[in-house]
Amino acid sequence: MADEIILLDFWPSMFGMRVRVALAEKGLKYEYKEEDLRNKSPLLLEMNPVHKKIPVLIHNGKPICESLIIVQYIDEVWKDKAPLLPSDPYQRAQARFWADYVDKKPYELGRKIWSTKGEEQETAKKEFIECLKLLEGELGEKPYFGGEKIGFVDVALVTFSCWFHAYESFGNFSIEAECPKLIAWTKRCMEKESVSSSLEDPHKVHGFVMGMRKKLGIE
Amino acid sequence: MAAISLQTATMAEEVKLFGTWASPFSRRIEVALKLKGVQFEYIEENLSNKSPALLEYNPVHKKIPVLVHNGKPVAESLVILEYIDETWKHNPILPTDPYEKAIARFWAKYIDDKLWPAATKVLVSKGEEQKGVTEEIQEQLKTLESELKGKKFFGGESLGFVDIAANIIVFLLVAQEALGLMEILTEEQFPVLHEWYQRLVDDAVFKECVPPRERHLGFFKVRFGSSTASK
C-alpha cells in the first residue's frame, strides 16, 4: 500500500523548504500544494487549526505541523534511508540544540534586516553576523553540520541561504565577506540535488521580499 | 579566575543539573530524572552571578537548566527531556510511535512558544492589557484542554512529555494567587483541564518538583508585586 504524502507549503518559506529537503533526502514522492496565505485553504485550516500556518505534512490523512517536528517525523518514519539525526543520544541532543538555535536567532534577525531601517537594522545585521559566526564555529572543519553527510542542522539552516541575497541587498552588507566558511558550506549543500531542487532562486526571493517591503511601506 | 576542571568520565554515571529553584524549566528536568530514578547532583545557580561552570557548559545562551552527563552538557529544557528519555529508556515520557511523538512535541512547543510568553506578560501588565492577556491565556488553555481527549494525562495513564512541559501552568497559578490576579483556570470554564491539573499536582513525583509554596508565593510578590493586582 503506497504512502500518501501531501505538503502544504508557500514557495518562499524557508520552513517549508526544510520539509522539501527532508522528503527529497528520503527519496519520497509527494503532492505539493501551494497555499495562498491571504486566502488559506479549508484543508490548511482543518489540518493546522491551532496555528493555521505552513508547512503542514499530511501523511495518510494525518497532519504534522511545525517544520522541525515534521523533519524529525520524516526521519523517524523513513529511518532506513539517509538518516538526518545521529543515533547517539548526546549527538542527537546537540543537533536538536543547534536546530533550535537556528529557529530562535537567525530567523528573527533576518526578518529585521529586511523589514527595518536605521539603528534597528544595523543592530540586527550585527547580531545576525554574530549568529552565523557562532554557527561557523559549530561547523568547524566538518563538511556538514551532520559530519560527512547532511543532517538535521544542515536542513534547518541551509534553507535560509536562498534568503541571504535579499538580506544582503536590503541590509547593504556582504554575508560572504564576514562568514566565508558558512557560504562555502551553503555551496557544498547546494551541490546535492535534494537541496538544490528544494531551495528557491535567491532572485525570486529578493523579488518577493521587495514586494513585502512595498506592502509594509518600507522604502 | 577559578580553574575549571571538567569531570572526566568515570565508571559510575555522573549526572548534574544546573538550575534555579523557581524556574519551571529547571523543575521539568527534575521531574524527568526522578521519574526515571536517576541519581543526580543539583547545583543551584544565582542568575545575577552565574558560575564559571554554567558559562562553560552553556556558552551560547548562558541559561539554566543545563544537564551535565559524565561531563557532557545538554541545554534547552525540551532537548534535555528528550535526551533523558533516550538515555534512560525505562518509564518513557515520549511515545514510541512517530506520529504520537510528533503530536507530543507539537504541544510542548505550543506551551513554550505561546503559553509561556503570555504567562510572563500577564505578570507585568495592568488593567485592560492584563485582562486581554488573561483571555488569551484562557484561549490557549482551552486549546490544550481539547488535546486531553479523555486521557488521565497528556501522556496517557502516566505523566508524559507534555504534562512535564505544562508545569508552567502550575507556576502561573501560584503567581495568580500571589498577585491577586483574575482567576485563570476555573473549574467551570475548564472542567477537564481542572481535573487534569489536580491529578498533576497530586502526582507523587511531580509534587516533589515544584517550588516550596510559601517561598514561591513570596517570590512572585517581591518580583511582580506592587500595583499589578486587578480583579
Helix (H) or strand (E) holding A44: helix A42-47
pLDDT digits (tens, 9 = 90+) for B60-118: 999 999 999 999 999 999 999 999 999 999 999 999 999 999 999 999 999 999 999 99
Tell me whether strands B66-69 and B72-75 are parallel, antiparallel or unpaired.
Answer: antiparallel
Whether residue A96 and residue B106 make contact (CB cut-off 8 A), yes or no, is no
Q: Report yes or no: A130 at the B interface, CB cutoff 8 Å.
A: no
pLDDT digits (tens, 9 = 90+) for B47-62: 999 999 999 999 999 9
Query: pLDDT category, B8, cuts 50, 70, 90?
Result: very low
In the structure grid, which three cell numbers stand for residue A138, read together?
559549530
Q: Under DSSP, is residue B67 helix (H, G, I), strand (E, B) or coil?
A: strand
At A29, give phi and psi (nearest 5°): -90, 140
Q: Report yes or no: B11 at the A interface, CB cutoff 8 Å.
A: no
Whether residue B101 and residue A76 make contact (CB cut-off 8 A), yes or no, is yes
pLDDT of the residue at B12: 67
Residue type, A30: Y
Whether residue B33 is predicted with pLDDT greater than 80 in this model: the reply is: yes
Instruction: Write the ipTM.
Output: 0.96
Give chain A's domains with CATH numbers.
Answer: 5-77 (3.40.30.10), 89-215 (1.20.1050.10)
CA distance A57 to chain B (A): 11
Q: Under DSSP, is residue B42 helix (H, G, I), strand (E, B) or coil?
A: strand
pLDDT of the residue at B10: 42
CA distance B93 to A72: 17
Which one, of A166, A170, A167, A160, lies nearest residue A205 by Cα?
A166
Query: pLDDT category, B7, cuts 50, 70, 90?
Result: very low
pLDDT of the residue at A69: 98
CA distance B183 to B177: 8
Whether residue B83 and residue A90 make contact (CB cut-off 8 A), yes or no, is yes
Tell me whether strands A56-59 and A5-9 are parallel, antiparallel or unpaired.
Answer: antiparallel
Other Cβ atoms within 10 Å of B168 Cβ, number: 19
Q: Under DSSP, is residue A23 helix (H, G, I), strand (E, B) or coil?
A: helix
Q: pLDDT 10s digit of each residue in chain A, 219 long? A: 689 999 999 999 999 999 999 999 999 999 999 999 999 999 999 999 999 999 999 999 999 999 999 999 999 999 999 999 999 999 999 999 999 999 989 999 999 999 999 999 999 999 999 999 999 999 999 999 999 999 999 999 999 999 999 999 999 999 999 999 999 999 999 999 999 999 999 999 999 999 999 999 987
CA distance A114 to chain B (A): 24
